[in-house]
Structure 1
Amino acid sequence: MAAVTTDTLAAQDQELLDWIVEQGEQRGNAVISVSSDANGSGYCFTACAWALHGVPEAVVIGLPEDLGPVLLDAYVDRAASGEQFYYGRLYEDFFDGVPLVFEQVAKGHYPEFFGSAFLVYPDGDFPAVQIIVPTTEGHWPWSPDAPEGFAEWQPILTESGDPQSWQPGVNGP
């Protein structure tokens, strides 16, 4: 992968870009993790999946810090091998006994949830998916019986904040 560099990058940004490119070349993608804070739950996202494999970048929000990167690496490996993932379809073979679903990320969420990826894609021209995981009891963020605050802990990154590529309970979970 050819590194995207400009003379105007700050040293810290250039170091991060170099790390992303190195991770992409060594591992097939880079996973960037952001810890939870007073403003929200932790999340992690990929960078280089689109550039290296032609598969959408991905984000997962609210999982334990050790599980998010594992899930993203598995997604990139499978997608890079040709597996296609469809919005609203349940996938039950990433984690034993825990389903997940994919949703398209609205571009308005890119700066907040894919910030470092803009070092690779300065114009923001890349597709992105969100991988959504229910609670251990099987409640989705949009479920009326989801625990209080779960929808804020794992926000849905569409324009409406609800699934938009399918209808919950109709043609999706």
Structure 2
Amino acid sequence: MAAVTTSALTAEEQRLIAWIESEAQARGNAVIAVPSDANGSGFCFTACAWALHNVPEAVVIGLPEHMGPVLLDAYVDRSANGEIFEVGKQYDDFFQGAPVVFERVAKGHYPEYFGSAFLVYPDGDFPALQLVVATPEGRFPWHRDAPEGFADWQPVLTESGVPESWQPGVDGP
């Protein structure tokens, strides 16, 4: 991982980058959690997955607090060990009874959903994937029969707000 110049960072940013680097060295990545607020769902994202393992950083939105880090750690561990995840393909082996699909994150969402990662990648030059988790009934946010408000609770971070790397129901869930 490249060293980050800390002279221009605030004391709080320096503490955060030190924590991110410590987590990355100890665990292979850092997972940063952001709690829900009046503006939206809580989410968590990785930092250092790209720097350490050459796998895209990842974000998950709207999961219960304890589930997001577990999902992201599993993604980074599996990716670091050579597994390649395809966008638009449904994966049933992350959580029992809750399918997961990957989608590319549009760069316009990076500042909001990967803010602290800019301490690692100041130029914002890193790939990112969103792990979208279905309901136990297999409904994703873009499905017409998804629970009311599900698309607001777990927005899809593409430019359009719906999958763009595949066509739901055609070559993806």
TM-score of the alignment, normalized to the shorter chain, above 0.5: yes
User: What's the CA shift for 1:138?
Assistant: 1.7
AA aligned opposite 1:142: W
Query: Which residue of structure 1 aligns with residue 54 of structure 2?
Result: 54
User: What's the CA shift for 1:135?
Assistant: 1.4
Query: Which residue of structure 2 aligns with residue 105 of structure 1?
Result: 105
AA aligned opposite 1:101: V
Contact 2:60/2:131 (<8 A) preserved: yes
- TM-score (norm. length: structure 1): 0.98
Q: Aligned-residue CA RMSD in angstroms?
A: 0.7
Q: Distance in 1 between matches of 2:13 and 2:4?
A: 11
Alignment of 1:84-163 (within 5 A): 84-163=84-163
Q: List, as ranges, runs of 4+ consecutive aligned residues in structure 1 with deviation greater than 6 Å.
A: none
- TM-score (norm. length: structure 2): 0.98
Contact 2:97/2:136 (<8 A) preserved: no
Q: Distance in 2 between matches of 1:119 and 1:52?
A: 15
**Where do 5+ consecutive residues of structure 2 fail to align?**
none
Q: Distance in 2 between matches of 1:147 and 1:115?
A: 29
User: What's the CA shift for 1:136?
Assistant: 2.1
Residue by residue over 1:50-80, the C-alpha shift from the partner in whole angstroms, topping out at 9 and shown as x without a partner, is 0000000000000000000000000000000
Alignment of 1:25-104 (within 5 A): 25-104=25-104
The number of residues matched between the two structures is: 173
Contact 2:59/2:113 (<8 A) preserved: yes
AA aligned opposite 1:81: N
Q: Distance in 2 between matches of 1:114 and 1:152?
A: 19
**Where do 5+ consecutive residues of structure 1 fail to align?**
none
User: What's the CA shift for 1:148?
Assistant: 1.2
Q: Distance in 1 between matches of 2:66 and 2:116?
A: 20
Contact 2:98/2:137 (<8 A) preserved: no
Identity %: 73
